[in-house]
Amino acid sequence: MRIGIVCPYSLDVPGGVQNHVRDLAEVLLDLGHEVSVLAPADDDTPVPPYVVPAGRAVPVPYNGSVARLAFGPLSAARVRRWIREGGFDVLHIHEPATPSLSLLALWAATGPIVATFHTAMPRSRMMSAASAILRPALEKISARVAVSEPARATLVHHLGGEPVVIPNGLFVDRFANARPRPQWREGAGTLCFLGRLDEPRKGLAVLLRAFPEIVRRRPGVRLLVAGPGDVEEARASLPAECRPAVEFLGMVDDQTKAEMFASSDIYVAPHTGGESFGIVLVEAMAAGAPVLASALDAFRLVVDGGRLGRLFEVGDSDALAEEAIALLEDPAARDRLREAARLAVRRYDWSNVAKEIISVYEMVAEGPAGVGEATAVAPGPAGPVGGDRRDDSIDGAT
């Protein structure tokens, strides 16, 4: 099967949707399918051979974060050419309502189209206002997928439809086989955090407010913080006596991330909102780190209401500290969480998730017609939001 996948967010920066698209493409290629991924990326950005860069992206505040999107005449031209020359049996568009390549591809394509919705925003004025405009385009989708029940609820509430829930995938063994680093295992226990330091919804401030109490009651505890952002600003928010116990790792690659989880007694996910799934919780559990997470709906589902990890009230630093201390003082409880999670995470392994996605592909591709270019011109902005005006060629198209 020849599959075209559209990613709305730039590959110049890491992110959950980008990682999902990358991993899915690699799994499909390993299974013998032909895959081409269209994504925003500067022409000089190193990308895998199956990725077709569709031009420069610009940062846009979105869902409590900053998304790097590409939208405008040049991007639209590149999307149309990619679809026209792709010869795809199925087009898989991620976040089709996002004003980037995904929406452009939905406007430009006809035929078997699968759409995956990642966002969970129960109340969104933007989505409510855009629903009437988007509905004709969304009716072209042959099958809708949501990555979680919160994402499904968001889709049904704002845009309608009957999506199937297929979670994000993970190469479980890559995390399960990670080995701890001895220097991260020293002391009275190790906590870790992963996320952008200066993105409020990732909740680092909640954890740092809790950390002095954890240090007071568990002298010798340490905290590993991985992710981009202003380290000095984050460090300055801690009392001076706590700062030596915190190690900022900066951006980490997948191997270092897995080793950090494997080295930790607790992975803390203090996020305050905007999470539709929680793949990072699954990564931590796969590597053997007991999870302590804020009680967001998405996180509550991943840890099965507390069976696979501990929960605390969103934004409550005192509750976080109490739960962390209780887990640090109870090795048997941590072992029980590890064992339960070790079995549960197999549900998310790509060997299982890919089968579900492929079954959707096969269902929508049963007809004789493949993906084609729509003849009607879709509504859009008069000028470009992202990209440049050099030409509409796509070097390296496959």
Band (pLDDT 50/70/90 cuts) for residue 384 is very low
| 193 within 8 A of 226, measured Cβ to Cβ | yes
Same domain, 302 and 315: yes
Over residues 51-100, the pLDDT tens digits come to 998 877 665 655 555 566 666 777 888 899 999 999 999 999 999 888 78
- 3-state DSSP assignment of residue 69: strand
| 159 within 8 A of 124, measured Cβ to Cβ | no
Q: Is residue 394 part of a domain?
A: no
pLDDT at 121: 65
**Mean of pLDDT over the chain:** 87
Same domain, 188 and 69: no
Same domain, 196 and 342: yes
- 3-state DSSP assignment of residue 53: strand
**What range does the domain containing 282 cover?**
173-347
Same domain, 315 and 364: no
Same domain, 34 and 164: yes
Same domain, 126 and 214: no
The phi and psi torsions of 69 (rounded to 5 degrees) equal -120, 160
CATH for 312: 3.40.50.2000
Summarize the confidence of residues 12-40 as an average pLDDT: 92
Band (pLDDT 50/70/90 cuts) for residue 126 is low
Q: Is residue 106 part of a domain?
A: yes
pLDDT at 59: 59
Same domain, 296 and 334: yes
Which tokens is 210 given? Answer: 């809790």
Same domain, 261 and 151: no
Over residues 307-366, the pLDDT tens digits come to 999 999 999 999 999 999 999 999 999 999 999 999 999 999 999 999 999 999 999 998
| 69 within 8 A of 9, measured Cβ to Cβ | yes
